[in-house]
Amino acid sequence: MQYAILIYEPDDKFDDRQQPDEGAFWGPWRSYHRALLDAGIYVGGSPLEKADTTATTIRIRGGERRVQDGPFADTKEQLGGFILLEVPTLDVAIEWAARCPAATYGAVEVRPAADLSRIFGPGHQGLPSRG
């Protein structure tokens, strides 16, 4: 079963990404990513650029497109990245989420990926991917 790990980081932590590769910031992230790959559970994901300077939010209301500078929610901790994992239960997903470096300095949300076969019938493979 797939779970999304949504990574929330405080503003100032985004700046830490400037640190060198083997440093205090990136070291734990590299180890974590390596561990996910080695366990064979990594489905996908990506870090995201800093929210307050690079995010754009779009809504359409009353037929009108509204484009706004900034993230969806202006909070002290921002979505800094996401990871998709394939693991059998929530407990296992929680174990992996707890090992995410952001758990120590920010917050990590675990949410099951929606199983659309419940709606669209068995054999449904999810939304089409590239290609």
**Contact positions toward other proteins, by CB under 8 A?**
1, 88-92, 94, 110-112, 115, 117-119, 121-123
CB nearer to other proteins: pick between 93 and 102: 93
> What's the min distance (Å) between Cβ of 98 and other proteins?
11
C-alpha atoms less than 13 angstroms from C-alpha of 109 in its C-beta half-sphere: 12
In angstroms, the CA 131 to CA 129 distance is 6
By C-beta, is 68 or 117 nearer to other proteins? 117
User: Least Å distance between CB 33 and other proteins?
Assistant: 24
Cα radius of gyration rounded to whole Å, the chain: 17
For other proteins, the closer of residues 20 and 123 by Cβ is 123
> Closest Cα to residue 78, out of 4, 3, 6?
6
Contact 85, 93 (CB under 8 A): yes
Task: Compute the least distance from the CB of residue 17 to other proteins, in Å.
Answer: 30
